[in-house]
Structure 1
Amino acid sequence: MTERPSAPARRRSLFSRVSRRTAVTWASLLAMCSLLLVGLSIPVPYVVERPGPAIDVLGSYDGEKVITISGTEQHPTDGALMMTTVSVDGGPGYPVRAGEVVAAWFDPTQTVLPRELVFPAGQTKQETSLRNAADMTTSQQDAVAMALTELGIPFTREITIAGVLEGGPADGVLEPGDVVLAVDGETRSTAAEYQKLTRSAPAGQDIAMRIRRDGAEQDVAVPTESADGATRMGVVLAPGYDFPIDVKLAVAGVGGPSAGTMFALAVYDELTPGALTGGQKIAGTGTMNDAGEVGAIGGIRQKMVGARDEGATFFLAPAANCDHVVGHVPDGMSVVSVATFDDALQAVETIGSTGSAEGLPTCTS
Structure 2
Amino acid sequence: MRRRGLTVMLGFAITLVLAVLAGTAEVPYVELSPGPTVNTLGAVDGSGQACTELSDSCQEVIQITGGETSASKGQLRMTTVSVSSSVSLLEAIKGWFSDEDAVVPRTLIYPEDKDEKQVEEENRQEFEASQTSAETAALRYLGFPVKVAVSEVPADGASAGKLQAGDIVETVDGVEVSSVQKLLQLVTEKPAGAVRQVGYTRDGVKSTVDITTKAGQDGNPKLGISIKTTQPNPYQLKIKLDKIGGPSAGMMFALGIIDKIKAEDLTHGMVIAGTGTIDDEGRVGPIGGIAQKLHGARAAGATVFLAPAANCAETVGNVPDGLRVVKVSTLDDAMAALAALPSGAPLPSC
What is the TM-score with the length of structure 2 in the denominator? 0.71
| Secondary structure at the counterpart of residue 266 of structure 1 | helix
Q: What residue number does 1:50 align with?
A: 33
Post-superposition shift, 1:155? 4.8
Q: Deviations over 1:147-188 (max 9, x none)?
A: 100111245579xxxxxxxxxxxxxxxxxxxxxxxxxxxxxx
Q: Contact 1:141–1:240 (CA<8 Å) still a contact in 2?
A: no
Task: Tell me how far apart the structure 2 counterparts of residues 57 and 141 of structure 1 sit (CA, whole Å).
Answer: 15
| Secondary structure at the counterpart of residue 53 of structure 1 | coil
The answer to whether 1:140 aligns with 2:131 is yes
Work out which of the residue numbers 250, 271, 291 in structure 2 matches 1:281: 271
Q: What residue number does 1:254 align with?
A: 244
Q: Contact 1:136–1:256 (CA<8 Å) still a contact in 2?
A: yes
Task: Tell me how far apart the structure 2 counterparts of residues 66 and 28 of structure 1 sit (CA, whole Å).
Answer: 59
Q: What residue number does 1:173 align with?
A: none
Work out which of the residue numbers 286, 292, 295 in structure 2 matches 1:296: 286
Task: Tell me how far apart the structure 1 counterparts of residues 274 and 137 of structure 2 sit (CA, whole Å).
Answer: 17
Q: Contact 1:338–1:344 (CA<8 Å) still a contact in 2?
A: yes
Q: What residue number does 2:215 align with?
A: none
Instruction: Point out where structure 1 has 5 or more consecutive residues left out of the alignment.
Output: 1-16, 159-188, 191-238
Q: What residue number does 1:196 align with?
A: none
Q: Contact 2:79–2:293 (CA<8 Å) still a contact in 1?
A: yes
Q: What residue number does 1:76 align with?
A: 71
Q: What residue number does 1:24 align with?
A: 7
| Secondary structure at the counterpart of residue 242 of structure 2 | coil
Work out which of the residue numbers 105, 108, 119 in structure 2 matches 1:117: 108
| Secondary structure at the counterpart of residue 257 of structure 1 | coil
Q: Contact 1:41–1:97 (CA<8 Å) still a contact in 2?
A: yes
Task: Tell me how far apart the structure 1 counterparts of residues 60 and 12 of structure 2 sit (CA, whole Å).
Answer: 56
| Secondary structure at the counterpart of residue 253 of structure 2 | helix
| Secondary structure at the counterpart of residue 336 of structure 1 | strand
CA RMSD, 1 decimal: 2.0
Post-superposition shift, 1:243? 6.2
| Secondary structure at the counterpart of residue 140 of structure 2 | helix
Q: Which runs of 4+ in 1 moved over 3 A?
A: 154-158, 239-244
Q: Contact 2:283–2:330 (CA<8 Å) still a contact in 1?
A: yes
Which amino acid in the other structure matches residue 134 of structure 2? A
Task: Tell me how far apart the structure 2 counterparts of residues 155 and 51 of structure 1 sit (CA, whole Å).
Answer: 36
Q: What residue number does 1:311 align with?
A: 301
Instruction: Point out where structure 2 has 5 or more consecutive residues left out of the alignment.
Output: 46-57, 150-179, 182-227
Residues 1-365 of structure 1: pairs in structure 2 closer than 5 A = 17=1, 19-62=2-45, 63-90=58-85, 95-155=86-146, 244=233, 245-351=235-341, 353-354=342-343, 356=344, 358-363=345-350
Task: Tell me how far apart the structure 1 counterparts of residues 126 and 230 of structure 2 sit (CA, whole Å).
Answer: 15
Q: Contact 1:145–1:241 (CA<8 Å) still a contact in 2?
A: no
What is the TM-score with the length of structure 1 in the denominator? 0.68
Task: Tell me how far apart the structure 2 counterparts of residues 127 and 97 of structure 1 sit (CA, whole Å).
Answer: 23
Task: Tell me how far apart the structure 2 counterparts of residues 300 and 89 of structure 1 sit (CA, whole Å).
Answer: 17
User: How many residues are aligned here?
Assistant: 261
| Secondary structure at the counterpart of residue 22 of structure 2 | helix
